[in-house]
Structure 1
Amino acid sequence: MKIGELSERSGASARSIRYYEQVGLLRSQRLSNGYREFDDDALRTVETIKTLLDLGFPTELIERVLPCTGDAGPVEQDCGVLMQRVTEIRDEMDAKARRLTETRDALSRFLAQAEAERAA
Protein backbone atom coordinates (compact mmCIF):
# COMPACT_ATOMS: atom_id res chain seq x y z
CA MET A 1 0.00 0.00 0.00
CA LYS A 2 1.11 3.57 -0.59
CA ILE A 3 1.87 5.97 2.25
CA GLY A 4 -1.44 7.82 1.80
CA GLU A 5 -3.45 4.64 2.24
CA LEU A 6 -1.37 3.58 5.23
CA SER A 7 -1.87 7.01 6.74
CA GLU A 8 -5.62 6.89 6.20
CA ARG A 9 -6.03 3.34 7.51
CA SER A 10 -3.76 3.81 10.55
CA GLY A 11 -4.66 7.37 11.51
CA ALA A 12 -0.96 8.29 11.53
CA SER A 13 0.08 11.24 9.41
CA ALA A 14 2.23 10.62 6.35
CA ARG A 15 4.88 12.73 8.08
CA SER A 16 4.82 10.40 11.11
CA ILE A 17 5.07 7.36 8.87
CA ARG A 18 8.08 8.85 7.09
CA TYR A 19 9.62 9.54 10.51
CA TYR A 20 8.98 5.95 11.68
CA GLU A 21 10.75 4.78 8.55
CA GLN A 22 13.62 7.26 9.01
CA VAL A 23 14.35 6.04 12.55
CA GLY A 24 14.12 2.39 11.49
CA LEU A 25 10.78 1.45 13.05
CA LEU A 26 9.12 0.76 9.71
CA ARG A 27 10.31 -0.45 6.32
CA SER A 28 9.08 0.13 2.81
CA GLN A 29 10.11 -0.70 -0.71
CA ARG A 30 10.79 2.10 -3.16
CA LEU A 31 9.05 1.80 -6.49
CA SER A 32 10.69 2.95 -9.73
CA ASN A 33 8.76 6.23 -9.49
CA GLY A 34 10.17 6.83 -5.98
CA TYR A 35 6.92 6.11 -4.15
CA ARG A 36 7.03 4.08 -0.97
CA GLU A 37 5.23 0.75 -0.97
CA PHE A 38 4.37 -0.78 2.40
CA ASP A 39 3.39 -4.39 2.94
CA ASP A 40 0.17 -5.41 4.71
CA ASP A 41 1.98 -5.88 8.05
CA ALA A 42 2.89 -2.17 8.09
CA LEU A 43 -0.61 -1.26 9.29
CA ARG A 44 -0.29 -3.38 12.43
CA THR A 45 3.25 -2.09 12.99
CA VAL A 46 2.15 1.55 12.75
CA GLU A 47 -0.76 0.88 15.12
CA THR A 48 1.66 -0.71 17.60
CA ILE A 49 4.07 2.22 17.29
CA LYS A 50 1.24 4.70 17.88
CA THR A 51 0.07 2.77 20.94
CA LEU A 52 3.56 2.68 22.42
CA LEU A 53 4.03 6.39 21.74
CA ASP A 54 0.66 7.12 23.39
CA LEU A 55 1.90 5.20 26.43
CA GLY A 56 4.88 7.54 26.59
CA PHE A 57 7.53 5.22 25.22
CA PRO A 58 10.41 7.08 23.53
CA THR A 59 11.25 5.94 20.01
CA GLU A 60 14.55 4.50 21.26
CA LEU A 61 12.64 2.11 23.53
CA ILE A 62 10.05 1.36 20.82
CA GLU A 63 12.91 0.38 18.52
CA ARG A 64 13.97 -2.20 21.11
CA VAL A 65 10.44 -3.35 22.01
CA LEU A 66 8.99 -3.63 18.50
CA PRO A 67 10.89 -6.80 17.54
CA CYS A 68 9.54 -8.42 20.71
CA THR A 69 5.95 -7.77 19.62
CA GLY A 70 6.34 -9.72 16.40
CA ASP A 71 5.34 -6.59 14.47
CA ALA A 72 8.81 -6.12 13.05
CA GLY A 73 9.11 -9.65 11.77
CA PRO A 74 10.21 -12.76 13.63
CA VAL A 75 11.51 -12.26 17.13
CA GLU A 76 15.27 -12.57 16.72
CA GLN A 77 16.48 -11.66 20.17
CA ASP A 78 15.95 -12.64 23.76
CA CYS A 79 13.25 -10.25 24.84
CA GLY A 80 13.09 -11.37 28.48
CA VAL A 81 14.96 -8.46 30.06
CA LEU A 82 13.28 -5.92 27.83
CA MET A 83 9.83 -7.34 28.47
CA GLN A 84 10.57 -7.24 32.21
CA ARG A 85 11.21 -3.50 31.87
CA VAL A 86 7.97 -3.06 29.95
CA THR A 87 6.19 -4.98 32.72
CA GLU A 88 7.72 -2.60 35.28
CA ILE A 89 6.50 0.40 33.26
CA ARG A 90 3.02 -1.11 33.16
CA ASP A 91 3.07 -1.75 36.90
CA GLU A 92 4.21 1.84 37.54
CA MET A 93 1.28 3.06 35.43
CA ASP A 94 -1.11 0.89 37.43
CA ALA A 95 0.22 2.35 40.68
CA LYS A 96 -0.16 5.90 39.37
CA ALA A 97 -3.71 5.14 38.22
CA ARG A 98 -4.58 3.77 41.67
CA ARG A 99 -3.17 6.89 43.34
CA LEU A 100 -5.12 9.14 40.97
CA THR A 101 -8.31 7.20 41.66
CA GLU A 102 -7.76 7.46 45.41
CA THR A 103 -7.12 11.21 45.12
CA ARG A 104 -10.22 11.68 42.96
CA ASP A 105 -12.33 9.74 45.47
CA ALA A 106 -10.95 11.80 48.37
CA LEU A 107 -11.77 15.02 46.51
CA SER A 108 -15.28 13.75 45.76
CA ARG A 109 -15.83 12.97 49.46
CA PHE A 110 -14.52 16.40 50.41
CA LEU A 111 -16.82 18.13 47.92
CA ALA A 112 -19.82 16.07 49.03
CA GLN A 113 -19.12 16.89 52.68
CA ALA A 114 -18.67 20.60 51.91
CA GLU A 115 -21.94 20.63 49.95
CA ALA A 116 -23.77 18.85 52.79
CA GLU A 117 -22.44 21.36 55.34
CA ARG A 118 -23.46 24.26 53.13
CA ALA A 119 -26.96 22.83 52.72
CA ALA A 120 -27.40 22.33 56.48
Structure 2
Amino acid sequence: MRIGELSERTATPRRLLRYYEEQGLIIAHRTANGYRRYDDNCVDRVIQVRGLLDAGLPTRIIKQILPCLDKPRTIYFPDATPEMLATLTQERDRMTQRIDCLARNRDAIGEYLDAVLALRATPAARAVSPAPPA
Protein backbone atom coordinates (compact mmCIF):
# COMPACT_ATOMS: atom_id res chain seq x y z
CA MET A 1 0.00 0.00 0.00
CA ARG A 2 1.14 3.56 -0.52
CA ILE A 3 1.73 6.09 2.21
CA GLY A 4 -1.68 7.71 1.79
CA GLU A 5 -3.50 4.44 2.41
CA LEU A 6 -1.32 3.64 5.43
CA SER A 7 -2.04 7.12 6.73
CA GLU A 8 -5.79 6.61 6.36
CA ARG A 9 -5.81 3.11 7.84
CA THR A 10 -3.85 4.18 10.92
CA ALA A 11 -5.11 7.77 11.29
CA THR A 12 -1.48 8.84 11.25
CA PRO A 13 -0.28 11.87 9.30
CA ARG A 14 2.04 11.12 6.39
CA ARG A 15 4.70 13.31 7.94
CA LEU A 16 4.74 11.09 11.04
CA LEU A 17 4.97 7.96 8.88
CA ARG A 18 8.03 9.42 7.15
CA TYR A 19 9.51 10.17 10.57
CA TYR A 20 8.85 6.60 11.75
CA GLU A 21 10.62 5.35 8.65
CA GLU A 22 13.53 7.73 9.25
CA GLN A 23 13.83 6.42 12.82
CA GLY A 24 13.78 2.80 11.63
CA LEU A 25 10.42 2.02 13.27
CA ILE A 26 8.75 1.00 10.00
CA ILE A 27 10.16 -0.04 6.66
CA ALA A 28 9.03 1.17 3.27
CA HIS A 29 10.01 -0.43 0.01
CA ARG A 30 10.56 1.86 -2.95
CA THR A 31 8.95 1.29 -6.31
CA ALA A 32 10.72 2.01 -9.59
CA ASN A 33 9.23 5.51 -9.61
CA GLY A 34 10.39 6.16 -6.02
CA TYR A 35 7.03 5.83 -4.27
CA ARG A 36 6.97 4.27 -0.83
CA ARG A 37 5.19 0.90 -0.58
CA TYR A 38 4.28 -0.62 2.75
CA ASP A 39 3.38 -4.20 3.63
CA ASP A 40 0.02 -4.84 5.29
CA ASN A 41 1.75 -5.62 8.59
CA CYS A 42 2.83 -1.97 8.76
CA VAL A 43 -0.71 -1.07 9.86
CA ASP A 44 -0.29 -3.02 13.10
CA ARG A 45 3.27 -1.78 13.51
CA VAL A 46 2.24 1.88 13.20
CA ILE A 47 -0.58 1.39 15.70
CA GLN A 48 1.86 -0.33 18.04
CA VAL A 49 4.43 2.47 17.67
CA ARG A 50 1.80 5.13 18.31
CA GLY A 51 0.65 3.33 21.43
CA LEU A 52 4.19 3.12 22.76
CA LEU A 53 4.80 6.79 21.97
CA ASP A 54 1.53 7.71 23.68
CA ALA A 55 2.69 5.72 26.70
CA GLY A 56 5.75 7.94 26.86
CA LEU A 57 8.48 5.71 25.47
CA PRO A 58 11.11 7.50 23.38
CA THR A 59 11.69 6.32 19.79
CA ARG A 60 15.20 5.06 20.59
CA ILE A 61 13.76 2.63 23.15
CA ILE A 62 10.85 1.67 20.89
CA LYS A 63 13.30 0.81 18.13
CA GLN A 64 15.16 -1.50 20.48
CA ILE A 65 12.10 -3.33 21.79
CA LEU A 66 10.13 -3.64 18.53
CA PRO A 67 11.71 -6.98 17.61
CA CYS A 68 10.46 -8.37 20.92
CA LEU A 69 6.91 -7.34 20.11
CA ASP A 70 6.75 -9.45 16.95
CA LYS A 71 5.48 -13.00 17.08
CA PRO A 72 7.00 -15.47 17.59
CA ARG A 73 8.76 -13.60 20.33
CA THR A 74 12.46 -14.02 20.69
CA ILE A 75 13.73 -11.82 23.46
CA TYR A 76 17.45 -11.36 23.32
CA PHE A 77 19.18 -8.08 24.04
CA PRO A 78 22.94 -8.25 23.92
CA ASP A 79 23.03 -4.44 24.02
CA ALA A 80 20.52 -3.78 26.81
CA THR A 81 22.06 -1.00 28.87
CA PRO A 82 21.30 -0.30 32.53
CA GLU A 83 19.74 3.00 31.34
CA MET A 84 17.43 1.14 28.96
CA LEU A 85 16.38 -1.34 31.62
CA ALA A 86 15.71 1.48 34.09
CA THR A 87 13.69 3.38 31.48
CA LEU A 88 11.62 0.31 30.63
CA THR A 89 11.01 -0.43 34.32
CA GLN A 90 9.92 3.16 34.93
CA GLU A 91 7.65 3.18 31.87
CA ARG A 92 6.11 -0.18 32.78
CA ASP A 93 5.34 1.10 36.28
CA ARG A 94 3.89 4.34 34.89
CA MET A 95 1.69 2.38 32.45
CA THR A 96 0.47 0.19 35.32
CA GLN A 97 -0.53 3.30 37.27
CA ARG A 98 -2.38 4.69 34.24
CA ILE A 99 -4.14 1.36 33.67
CA ASP A 100 -5.23 1.26 37.33
CA CYS A 101 -6.54 4.83 37.08
CA LEU A 102 -8.40 4.09 33.84
CA ALA A 103 -9.91 0.94 35.36
CA ARG A 104 -11.14 2.90 38.41
CA ASN A 105 -12.63 5.59 36.14
CA ARG A 106 -14.27 2.96 33.92
CA ASP A 107 -15.77 1.24 36.95
CA ALA A 108 -17.06 4.56 38.37
CA ILE A 109 -18.69 5.44 35.04
CA GLY A 110 -20.21 1.96 34.88
CA GLU A 111 -21.68 2.33 38.37
CA TYR A 112 -23.09 5.74 37.48
CA LEU A 113 -24.67 4.38 34.29
CA ASP A 114 -26.12 1.40 36.15
CA ALA A 115 -27.66 3.70 38.77
CA VAL A 116 -29.12 6.10 36.19
CA LEU A 117 -30.51 3.30 34.05
CA ALA A 118 -31.98 1.53 37.08
CA LEU A 119 -33.64 4.75 38.24
CA ARG A 120 -35.13 5.32 34.80
CA ALA A 121 -36.52 1.78 34.80
CA THR A 122 -38.57 2.28 37.99
CA PRO A 123 -42.26 3.19 37.60
CA ALA A 124 -41.91 6.17 39.98
CA ALA A 125 -39.15 7.67 37.85
CA ARG A 126 -41.25 7.26 34.70
CA ALA A 127 -44.22 8.98 36.40
CA VAL A 128 -42.08 11.98 37.41
CA SER A 129 -40.33 12.28 34.04
CA PRO A 130 -41.95 14.70 31.60
CA ALA A 131 -43.70 13.10 28.68
CA PRO A 132 -41.76 13.15 25.42
CA PRO A 133 -42.92 15.81 22.92
CA ALA A 134 -45.59 14.65 20.52
CA distance in 2, matches of 1:64, 1:40: 22
CA distance in 2, matches of 1:18, 1:84: 29
Larger Rg: 2
TM-score, normalisation: structure 1: 0.67
Q: Which residue identity does 2:59 align to in structure 1?
A: T
Ranges in structure 2 where 5+ consecutive residues have no aligned partner: 105-134
Give 3-state SS (helix, strand or coil) of 1:26's partner. coil
- Determine the structure 1 residue equivalent to 2:69: 69
- Determine the structure 2 residue equivalent to 1:111: none
- Determine the structure 2 residue equivalent to 1:23: 23
User: How is 1:74-113 mapped onto 2 (pairs within 5 angstroms)?
Assistant: 75=73, 77-78=75-76, 86=88, 88-95=90-97
Does 2:28 correspond to 1:32?
Answer: no
CA distance in 2, matches of 1:29, 1:65: 22
Which shifted more, 38-47 or 87-96?
87-96
Ranges in structure 1 where 5+ consecutive residues have no aligned partner: 102-120
Q: 1:93 to 1:38 in 2, by over 3 A?
A: closer
Runs (4+) of structure 1 moved beyond 4 Å?
74-77, 81-85, 95-99
CA distance in 2, matches of 1:40, 1:87: 31
Q: Which residue identity does 2:25 align to in structure 1?
A: L
User: CA RMSD, aligned part only?
Assistant: 3.1
TM-score, normalisation: structure 2: 0.61
Q: Which residue identity does 2:4 align to in structure 1?
A: G
Q: Which residue identity does 1:92 align to in structure 2?
A: R
CA distance in 2, matches of 1:75, 1:84: 22
Alpha-carbon deviations, 1:14-52, whole Å to 9, x = none? 000001001111101100111000001000000000000
Q: Which residue identity does 2:17 align to in structure 1?
A: I
- Determine the structure 2 residue equivalent to 1:57: 57
CA distance in 2, matches of 1:3, 1:52: 21
The aligned length equals 98
Tell me the CA shift for residue 75 of structure 1. 4.8
CA distance in 2, matches of 1:96, 1:49: 18
